[in-house]
Chain A
Amino acid sequence: MHAMLAQLGHSAGAAAIGQAEVFGSWTALIPLLPLLASIACGVLAFRPSGAKTKWAAWCCIAGLALSFVLSVVLALNVGHGLGHASIFEWIRIDRLRADFAFYLDPLTSIMLIVVTGIGTLVAIYASEYMWGDRGYARFFAFVSLFIVAMTCLVLADNLILMYLGWEGVGLCSYLLIGFYYDKPSAVAAAKKAFIVNRIGDLGFALGIMLTYLQFGSVEFDVIFRQIEQWTAAGMEMSTATNVIPFLLMLGAFGKSAQLPLYVWLPDAMEGPTPVSALIHAATMVTAGVYLIARLLPLFLLSPYALPTVAWVGCITALFSATIGMAQYDLKRIFAYSTVSQLGYMFMGIGVLSSVGGTFHLFTHAFFKAALFLGSGAVMHGFAGQLDVRKLSGLWRVPGWQVVTASMLVACLALAGFPLTAGFFSKDMILAQAFVTPGPGYRLLGWIGLMTAGLTAYYTFRVFFRVFLGPVAYKPGDDHHGAHGDHHFHPHAPGPAINFVLIVLGLGALLAGWVGVGGGHHGWFGGMIHASSANYEVAHEPGDTAGFFGDPHRWMMLASSVVGILGIAVAAYLHLFNRAAAERWRRAILPVAVLAEHKWCVDEGYDLLIRRPLRAMGHICYALGDTLIINGLVALAGWTPRLIGAAVRPLQNGRLQGYGLGMAGGAAMLVIIVWWML
């Protein structure tokens, strides 16, 4: 590890060396345009006509699309360089400087394009999907607000502005999970998401403070430059540099739903499906990965930080994959899959494949958004039906071919099928686990490979059950609810939904190619290497000999085999011989039931944390306050009686009387003081 630290001097923070190019305040339009859209939608939400026209959707789409265009322009201008833009001063006290200012490097560009791009697509999709909902305008107000917060998070040039975005996306997540606020389960899920995130956020906040103590600043630029100087000078690292990454990690694990704070994400599926795609799959939940990638030089200061990230990511990936295999709810399966894939991203960064981690973030945004939006189309068309046991053979139903095709592509990408997007990014991570020297990293690689097989299995379990096989479906008990059970006709998706699915499907198919070829991991690798996440352990010279000497080569083969194996098993159990699946399930019934119940983690948290805390609240209230208050009241009950007996004639119960008494009291006071003189 210390050898790695020595190398760090040469590579990390390379981007910070160059003079930052100063950008004008037009960059502020990237969060500002969605903000204007959000305000416009918010106004519409209070008008009765808000849900009767599509104005809100148009506002939102326009704001987001323009923001996307500006992001692309910005990315082209930043290129492989480093930029900075100051918008306005925010919090300044002592030496603390937290301004609205942007740190612009290729990592920022990539994240911005993903966030605003997927955001625009989801807004287009939702303009059709949410139609008819009474909260139509409110939905778009929240979605635009989310983009505002997320772009702030991504653009921030200091930790406190990042924290603003961080909490802001948490808020929007809360508002959107609880969008159907009449549903108690949605309200509970929203609350859970916010609170679990707050636990992580406390770590983040404390991490910010410790960073300030250590570096005298919370600005990335200053921090990176200092780290560079220290490592160049070979300075001894203090305890603080070991603690800071762990505090920040807590925040990252909360936002990105890693063990032990992942429990909120599956419940977050209570929100409208476009939200699940945008916030809880493609963008917000990757903020934790972004945080670590952004602060990679800081994480490299501690020899324990990145291995912890890698191990937590890997265990989360495996753990949630096992739960995902046993679920029946379409969206929940993909939710656990998201947790699992986020685990891969952390593992990637942890094993020092920052390109792999961020690349997986990038490809995942496409295929997971496609999966959720496809599921949403199914849910929309089949009156809220999400149970994979009650849907079958959809591709034969008229009007569902686009959905089926894009789902197939996205499933292949998630399963890591050769040459799809997920295949390239996942391989990069797994192979790097075998290259980077670190505690048990090889084992990580094997676990990751195995999990890839499980992923392929659960993904195609969904696909084979829902889209292939004999045509059979039951409608759900839905809130759109106009359909009667007897004459149920699935409501095929319209042009907006199909268009978005096609775009995302193409993304899932082709996004992988930006990370292939020329030099180091293609265009994408070049971008990341020019950012603050620039770090990659080179191959040992002797190791690259031959096919099996270079994990980046044999991993492609190995993961293809594992992926196809997983798909084959799924095909047998869920397409050709569905009865066998049930037999297998019964054979391992206790395990299956436990996995279905999510290994009872929620119940455990409830029993060990929530209930004791609430009990403490009751005890404090009953013993502390009620008793004392009652005692006091008893005392108060007879004190005035005593006084009252003495001064009864003075109390005539009238206002003037009391005022007079007050004046008398003040006079008494003055007389006492006088007398003391």
Chain B
Amino acid sequence: MLLTLLLIPTLTALAIMMRPARQAAPIALAGSLLALLWAWFVWRAFDFADSAAIQLAASWTWIEPMGLRFSLGVDSVALMLVMLTALLTPLAVLGSWTAITQRVREFYLWLVILEIAMLAVFMARDLLVFYLAFEFTLVPMFFLIAVYGSTNRARASIVFFLYTFTGSIITLIGLLYVAWAQWSHSGHWTFDIGVLTATAASMSPSQQAWILLALCCGFAVKVPLFPVHTWLPLAHTEAPTAGSVILAAVLLKLGTYGLYRFAMPMCPVAFNQYAPLIAVLCIIGIIYGALVCWVQRDVKRLIAYSSVSHLGFCVLGLAAINTAGVSGSVMYMINHGLSTGALFLCIGMVYERYHTRSMDELGGMARRMPLWTAFTVFFVLSSVGLPGLNGFVGEFLTIFGAFTSGQPLQGLPTAGPLGPWYAAFAGTGMILAAIYLLYFCGHLLFGAYHVPDAAHAAGHEHSHHRLPRDLTLRETIVLAPLAVLCIWLGLQPDIVLSRIEAPVTQVVTSINLSASQPIAAAVTAQDAEGH
């Protein structure tokens, strides 16, 4: 089942290589839509009654003596991210339909290869498969930026590659250390994630702390957490639209997913101990990112920095180590993927028309592009966390998780390392988000209409490009499903929340139990009795 999900894009990639360039985009679209359809079958096949268990597992011997197996499997959290990936790839393909005019075949090839790698990351049940896929995402992304990016693309792609590569090498060392420890303990090699997680979780707190540090090196860069976020704005700004969409929507989630899947269960004691530190970094990131957003003149860089701020909330939820916080964080991963992905698509649509991203050159688009404006305002509102749309649920729950973490609930103690002050400081991000996103709207969408002269003329004569003033049907089709999902998840967050509750509770409970705080243990025991 899951292997087929990987094979579909692989076959798509082969087909793209074999067919002429002008067929590349339709093939990529068809292939990624087929993958989406298959992902839907996977969703149907998944038994949500037992959502914490690894399901649809499949395993093939790869390198026997090393215990290396090619094993796949998903729990409901991984499945959510698989769905997100499968959904956004066809939209990214469709969004690039007219924007890519040179080296078309390679573009779609890299995009499809990227999809394979991302899906493999979320489905991997073997540590090395995970790691290889995790690393492999760098390669297609590197080329997407380096070949199809804008003016600073060379710089951006190299910074992106070195930054994330250096981080993940250290992660690899940490992961190998765990595998080695398991080997020295049991005498045979295995890279099974379940086994290694148990091994790491039983290590001493100081060992766990080192592993956590190693894992965080790779994952925190990917997220990106302050202060290792600096690669992101550059990469985002220079990447082509599809690259930015995938980067924001899925690649950043590799970091948070890594933290959730590995850092939390592998180093429960250390994670519990260092959660306040991580939370402080998140809060700094939230505020810092937001303030920097506010002084940008390049709209794409503004949205890029907003990711720094937003992902701060996402990791804050993880650091809260309670069901609300961690569920909120998973919800946030999906929501950020939808709304920020959509915002990058929106900006791409304007860039394609006017070839600039500068607020000094663009303004008052509402007059000329009402439909585009409606979509952009909508996604801005989702991003700003307006209740009723998806962004609110994730944002509220992460802050809520941080606030209630470790606080007595009606006088009864609860587990968790944070508290109201973390939430209060993180909450200022809500205000700042409104400030920078409305600054963005105020300059780009509203005010006096102005666009670059040459493009203006071209737009009227329809000579430079064939795009009409407002959105085409294709562009509307790209944005509409995202908008529908934003409303749907905003009003029925239970679609996600109830389905991820079991695995999230499992992670949270295991951390609280092994954190060996008497209070926490007592409470979780109480909870268990309650259930």
The chain A residue with its CB closest to the CB of B404 is A213
Contacts A191-B439, A201-B430, A662-B136; is A629 near B159 (CB within 8 Å)? yes
Q: Is the CB of B230 within 8 A of A628?
A: yes
A188 at the interface (CB under 8 A from B): yes
B397 proximity list for chain A (CB < 8 A): 91, 93
The answer to the question of B473 belonging to the interface, with a C-beta cut-off of 8 Å to chain A, is: no
Q: Is the CB of A46 within 8 A of B371?
A: yes
Q: Which of B30-71 contact A (CB under 8 A)?
A: 63, 65-66
The reply to whether B163 and A632 contact each other, CB–CB distance below 8 Å, is yes
Complex interface: chain B residues within 8 A of A209 (CB): 399-400, 403-404, 420, 423
The complex places the Cα of A208 from the Cα of B231 at a distance, in Å, of 37
Contact among B296, B324, B438 for A94, CB-based, below 8 A: B324
The contact of A206 among B136, B388, B420, by CB within 8 Å, is: B420
A174: nearest chain-B partner, CB-CB: B438
Chain A residues whose CB sits within 8 angstroms of the CB of B159 once the complex forms: 629, 632-633, 636
Chain B residue with minimal CB distance to A188?
A: B442
Are B438 and A191 within 8 A (Cβ)? Answer: yes
The interface residues of chain A lying within 8 Å CB-to-CB of B445 are: 181
- Check A171 for interface membership: any CB of B closer than 8 A: yes
- Note all chain B residues with C-beta closer than 8 A to A95: 409
List A572-627 residues whose CB lies under 8 Å from chain B: 613-614, 616-618, 620-621, 624-625
Are B106 and A93 within 8 A (Cβ)? no
CA distance A558 to B65 in the complex (A): 97
In this complex, which of B176, B381, B434, B441 has the most chain A Cβ atoms within 10 angstroms of its Cβ? Answer: B434
Residue in chain B with minimal CB distance to A181: B446
**Which B residues are CB-close (under 8 A) to A446?**
none
Chain B stretch 397-441: residues in CB contact (< 8 A) with chain A: 397, 399-400, 403-404, 407-410, 420, 423-424, 427-428, 430-431, 434-435, 438-439, 441
Which residue of A has the minimal Cβ distance to B132?
A666
Of the candidate stretches A124-132, A162-170, A320-328, A409-417, the one touching chain B is: A162-170
Interface of B is mostly: helix
Residue ID in chain A nearest B395 by CB atoms: A205
* B501-A632 in contact (CB<8A): no
* Option from A93, A188, A673 in Cβ contact (under 8 Å) with B324: A93
Which residue from A46, A160, A184, A198 sits with its C-beta under 8 Å from B434? A198
Interface range, B side: 35 or more
| Cα-based distance from A616 to B424 in the complex (angstroms) | 20
B292 within 8 A of A: yes
> Are A168 and B388 in contact, CB atoms less than 8 angstroms apart?
yes
Q: How far is the CB of A182 from chain B (nearest CB, A)?
A: 6
Complex Cα gap A319–B6 (Å): 67
B497:A621 contact, CB within 8 angstroms: no
Which chain A residues lie closer than 8 Å to B360 at the CB level?
none
Q: What's the minimum C-beta distance from B438 to chain A, rounded to whole angstroms? A: 4
CA distance A166 to B435 in the complex (A): 18
Q: Any chain A CB within 8 A of the CB of B386?
A: yes
Chain A: minimal CB distance from B447 (Å): 5
Task: Point out the residues of chain A lying under 8 angstroms from B408, CB to CB.
Answer: 213
Q: Is the CB of B428 within 8 A of A202?
A: yes
Contact partner of B442 (CB less than 8 A), chosen from A94, A191, A674, is A191
Give chain A residues whose Cβ lies under 8 Å from the Cβ of B132: 666, 669
**Which residues, 148 to 189 on A, are CB-close (under 8 Å) to B?**
160, 163-164, 166-168, 171, 174, 178, 181-182, 184, 187-188
A216 at the interface (CB under 8 A from B): yes
Q: Provide the bound-state CA to CA distance between A625 and B235, in Å.
A: 13
For A655, the chain B residues whose CB sits under 8 A away are 106, 143
How many Å from the CB of A637 to the closest CB on chain B? 8
Indicate if the CB atoms of B438 and A93 lie closer than 8 Å: no
Answer whether residue B491 sits at the interface, using C-beta atoms and an 8 A cutoff: yes
With A184-B448, A199-B431 as known contacts, state yes or no: A613 contacts B291, CB within 8 Å: yes
Q: Does B457 contact A (CB under 8 A)?
A: no
For window 625-673 of A, CB contacts with B under 8 Å fall at 625, 628-629, 632-633, 635-636, 639-640, 655, 658, 662, 666, 669-670, 673
Contact with A along B221-247 (1 / 0, CB 8 A): 000000100110110000000000000
Contact B292 A167 (CB under 8 A): no
- Tell me if A215 is interfacial: C-beta within 8 Å of chain B: yes
Interchain CB contact under 8 A, B233 and A674: no
Instruction: State the CA gap A616–B498 with chains docked (Å).
Output: 41
Contact A182 B295 (CB under 8 A): no
B272 / chain A contacts, CB cutoff of 8 Å: none
Q: Are B448 and A624 in contact (CB under 8 A)?
A: no
Does A561 belong to the interface (CB within 8 Å)?
A: no
Asked if B189 is an interface residue, CB under 8 A from chain A, the answer is yes
Which A residues lie within 8 Å of B26 (CB)? none
Name B409's contact: one of A45, A216, A677 (CB within 8 Å).
A216
Q: Given A91-B393, A92-B497, A213-B410, does the pair A202, B295 have CB atoms closer than 8 Å?
A: no
Cβ contacts under 8 Å, A181 to chain B: 364, 366-367, 445-447
Q: Known contacts being A93-B501, A670-B63, is A178 close to B292, with CB within 8 Å?
A: no
Q: Are B410 and A184 in contact (CB under 8 A)?
A: no
Q: Mark B126-156, 1 if CB is under 8 A from A, else 0.
A: 0010001000100100010000000000010
A205 touches B427 (CB 8 A): yes
Q: A639 contacts which chain B residues (CB < 8 A)?
A: 162
A401 within 8 A of B: no
A96 engages B66 (CB within 8 Å):
no
- Nearest-neighbour CB distance to chain B for A139, whole angstroms, equals 14
Q: Which residues of A contact B366 (CB under 8 A)?
A: 181
Contacts of A206 in B (CB 8 A): 403, 420, 423-424, 427
Contacts of B423 in A (CB 8 A): 206, 209
Q: A168-B388, A205-B430 are in contact. Are A620 and B324 (CB under 8 A)?
A: no
Asked if A636 and B322 sit within 8 Å, CB to CB, the answer is no
With an 8 A cutoff between CB atoms, is B158 at the interface? yes
CA distance A640 to B501 in the complex (A): 46
B292 and A620 within 8 A (CB): yes
Give every chain A residue within 8 A of B294 (Cβ-Cβ).
Answer: 613-614, 617
A636 touches B155 (CB 8 A): yes
Most chain A beta carbons < 10 A, residue from B132, B155, B292, B374 = B292
Give the complex CA separation of A614 and B290 in angstroms.
Answer: 10
Residues of B within 8 A of A46 (CB): 370-371, 374
User: Which partner residue on chain B sits nearest A672 by CB separation?
Assistant: B176
Does B274 make an interface contact (CB < 8 A)? no
Distance (whole angstroms) from the CB of B158 to the closest CB of chain A: 4
Encode A240-253 as 1/0 by CB contact (under 8 A) with B. 00000000000000
Residue B323, interface by CB 8 Å: yes
Any chain A CB within 8 A of the CB of B205?
no
Chain B positions within 8 Å of A205 at CB level: 396, 399, 427, 430
A199 to B433 alpha-carbon distance, docked (Å) = 11
CA distance A613 to B288 in the complex (A): 11
CB-nearest residue of chain A relative to B147? A655
B-chain residues with CB within 8 Å of residue A625 when the two chains form the complex: 230, 233, 292
- Distance in angstroms between the alpha carbons of A198 and B143 in the assembled complex: 41
Kindly provide the distance from the CB of B461 to the nearest chain A CB, expressed in whole angstroms.
23
In the complex, whether A548 has a CB less than 8 A from a CB of chain B is no
Q: Does A210 contact B (CB under 8 A)?
A: yes
Report 5 cross-chain contacts, Cβ distance below 8 Å, ordered by A residue: A95-B409, A202-B427, A628-B230, A632-B230, A669-B132
Question: Which are the 8 A-B pairs with shortest beta-carbon distances?
Answer: A164-B387, A617-B291, A181-B446, A209-B403, A617-B295, A216-B410, A187-B446, A636-B158
Q: B: which residues have CB within 8 A of A?
A: 63, 65-66, 106, 128, 132, 136, 139, 143, 155, 158-159, 162-163, 176, 180, 189, 227, 230-231, 233-234, 288, 291-296, 322-324, 327-328, 364, 366-367, 370-371, 374, 381, 386-388, 392-393, 396-397, 399-400, 403-404, 407-410, 420, 423-424, 427-428, 430-431, 434-435, 438-439, 441-442, 445-449, 491-494, 497-498, 501
Beyond A91-B393, A613-B291, 20 extra complex contacts between A and B, CB < 8 Å: A92-B494, A94-B324, A96-B324, A167-B386, A167-B388, A178-B446, A181-B364, A191-B441, A194-B434, A198-B431, A202-B428, A212-B404, A213-B404, A624-B227, A629-B233, A632-B163, A632-B231, A633-B155, A636-B162, A674-B66
